[in-house]
Amino acid sequence: MDRRLRPLFPSLRRGIQTLATGITPAQLPTYYNASKPCLLDFSSLHKLKANEKWATDGRINNEYFESIITKDGVDPAVGVEKGRMDRDAVESGGESSDFQRFEMPLSFFLQCINHEVPQFRDLYLAQTYLTDSLPSLKDDLSPNPFLENASVEAIGFWIGRNTFTPPHYDPSGNIYMMVLGSKKVRLWKPQEKNPLGTAKLGSNFNFQTGKPDYEVTLEPGQVLFTPQGWFHELESKGLSAAVNWWFRLNSST
């Protein structure tokens, strides 16, 4: 059985609410309008080329991406992160001491990630709009029946090893699809102020103010919908790749 087609049983921390699963395109507007996160029905998306071509044998499919680079005639410079942007640093308005941002060609980044080049082992290509420079990748992401009656604002690519995206919220809906590896996602419902309060999320984390409403570990074959305004953080161990769509449903939906 194709592991991507197995039932969606999220890994949840005890005592935290359970996400609704298997939500179909017809059901998504209900969750969108009610501002409730959920796991979407992957059978609507499993035939996307992204799920078939982007990863193979637990690694990024470099040959495929190189063919896209050749087809579109550009090897785009991409911004990557090195080092961990930890929670404490983010809450204090800064970054951890070893955190760096710089650019490199996409092809070189993918080689570093796959072959674990020591000085570039834990790189993170985050929130990168690859379809802007490599339009052929759009063909790998359509059709997406969840977005037939939606306006897509941007498509983000997330590829890296041992990654962390600190707590934040998006001003629009977010459909996040895992392609390779796994990521733990924690979600907090919207409040007037940051739901983490004034507590630190490191050793002084206060579970009374900061315990997430939902926690799920996403794997290939799982797709998460996060409503606008919901705070969320994402963390991976090992190599992972994902793509997301930021969108707004049309008012008639």
pLDDT at site 6 = 33
Range of the domain at 21: 3-249
SS3 207: helix
CATH number for the domain including 153? 2.60.120.650
pLDDT at site 195 = 47
Spatial CA neighbour of 247 closest among 169, 157, 108, 146: 146
SS3 113: helix
CA separation for the pair 70, 38 (Å, rounded): 38
Query: In the chain, how many domains are there?
Result: 1
Task: Profile the chain (253 residues) by mean pLDDT over runs of 10 residues.
Answer: 33 62 97 96 95 95 97 97 66 61 95 82 92 97 96 97 86 96 90 44 43 92 94 91 97 65
pLDDT at site 203 = 40
